[in-house]
Amino acid sequence: MSYPDIYLTRPWRRTIMISLGLIFFILAPTLILYTAGYRYNFDTLRVEQTGVISIDANPTDAVVTLSNTTFHKKMPIRLANIAPGRYELSIAKNNFHTWKKDIVVKSNQTTYIRDITLPRIASPEPVQFEGWGDEQNIEAFWPSFDGRYLIIATNKQEIHELFLFDTDRQNLTLLTRTASKSLPIINWAPTETIALIGTETFQGTELRLINLPDTNIIFSATTSVSLASIRYQWFKSALGRTVLLFQDESTLYELTELGKKEIAKVTSTIWFVEDKKRIWTGTSEPTLFLSDDAAILETNFTIPEPATRIVDISPTHFIVQSDNSLMILQRNNNTLTDSKILPINNFQLLPNSHNWIAWSEREIWKIDNQGQSELLNRSGETITSLAAIDKFGWLAVASGQSLVVFNQNYFVFQELWRGFIIETLSVEPKQRRIYFLAKDEKGKKKIYSLLF
């Protein structure tokens, strides 16, 4: 074997050695930094440490896609060494709605995506109630706080019937039948399956309480106040018992098993019992008035607008309704420190978090248990109804002709169905069903069920 006569001069040998040294001293740190989780960020033109994405979702076999890179792993998954930057994240599975969101991965930080449940792709079906025919004229329904029970009102020739529908057992029970021109008042306790039924009588208004699953009436009383003018409040007693307070003329009563028990005198139809010694009242002027028998004092607070209803009072704030808005008033003992006015008249207590959700035709707000408010969403379509799905912040929203789910933690909307304008909706989280009231193609109101 012969070799070509090639001789490297000293300058060439020196050049090769220097080049190899430079390559080593450049590549070695680069490889070390790469394995340690550092990447060059072309947006910031800097070397930055990578981040981590932690994802937990149901179904656990859903497929995760991160900006065109797909990961077939069972949940929960951890994606390490992700370069800092903005990514499009999607979680998908056949026969389920895809969850999508743009996320930002930051250097040396973990981005958590959790408490995600993909809703099923399904169509709503009319609920078939045993013994009912097409002659039933449904007017409205009212769900319990946990979504298990619906009280359904029907009307035929001014005969109002109230039925209790147990969504778990799928059975229907007649509660009351009354002859009246007015729709009965139905109101559920905020955190218990106790329902108030108010019906019009010749003497005024009859109030009855039922405690489920037993449908027997536990307490009842008659007031001289008309059905449209009745004022009441759910109240948690010192023993932790949920009771109903109501006004008859100028007296506040507690509804008990013995009938009505007087607790205080009031001169206004705008009132709220903070405890049985501290009663707040409103007037036609923008004023809140505190009567405190325990401290033998009376206090006046000036508020931005005249109150029409006192919604809630806590140690940190008041929530007060006026004609066209909701006022959140911060308090420090018996002093008002700040106020915020929301152009909203619909609100609902979320029992799992003790936060309030409030909405208008176009906006959804959250009011936390410290009285801090946050705008969650503005809608291009009219919002007609809203209900909480779970403790993780998911909401079902009827908007225009759409039924959507909204994750308030990630500000993600997913449309479940589009069809009719929905009047009222309710969520049964255990079975993952949404019940809603809407008119069919013939204009007849029906209750539908949608598995999600």
Domain boundaries, the chain: 46-117, 266-343
- 194-219: average pLDDT: 86
Neighbour-count burial for 261-291, b at 16+ CB within 10 Å, e otherwise:
eebbebebebbbbbebebbbbbeeebebbbb
Summarize pLDDT for 35-87 with one digit per residue, the tens: 555 555 656 556 678 889 999 999 999 999 999 899 989 999 999 888 888 99
Assess whether pLDDT exceeds 80 at residue 91.
yes
Write out the two tokens for 54: 């932690």
Average per-residue pLDDT for the chain: 87
- 248-273: average pLDDT: 88
Assess whether pLDDT exceeds 80 at residue 403.
yes
| pLDDT confidence tier of residue 179, bands split at 50, 70 and 90 | confident
Determine the Cα–Cα distance for residues 445 and 181; give it in Å rounded to an integer: 19
Residue 254 has φ and ψ, to the nearest 5°, of -105, 130
| pLDDT confidence tier of residue 33, bands split at 50, 70 and 90 | low
**pLDDT given for residue 408 in this prediction:** 87
Determine the Cα–Cα distance for residues 93 and 58; give it in Å rounded to an integer: 10
CATH no. for 46-117: 2.60.40.10
Task: Give the closest residue to 344 by CA, choosing from 370, 378, 368, 317.
Answer: 378
End-to-end CA distance of the chain: 78
Assess whether pLDDT exceeds 90 at residue 448.
yes
| pLDDT confidence tier of residue 370, bands split at 50, 70 and 90 | very high
Summarize pLDDT for 201-212 with one digit per residue, the tens: 887 888 999 988
pTM of the model: 0.86
34-43, 325-334, 365-374: lowest mean pLDDT where? 34-43
The CA–CA distances, whole Å, from 149 to 102, 138, 162, 351 equal 38, 16, 13, 16
Residue length of the chain: 452
Pick the CATH number of 266-343 from 2.60.40.420, 2.40.10.480, 3.30.499.10, 2.60.120.330: 2.40.10.480
Determine the Cα–Cα distance for residues 283 and 306; give it in Å rounded to an integer: 7
**pLDDT given for residue 99 in this prediction:** 95
Higher pLDDT, 383 or 240: 383
Determine the Cα–Cα distance for residues 437 and 239; give it in Å rounded to an integer: 38
Q: Do domains 46-117 and 266-343 have the same CATH topology?
A: no
Residue 228 has φ and ψ, to the nearest 5°, of -70, -20
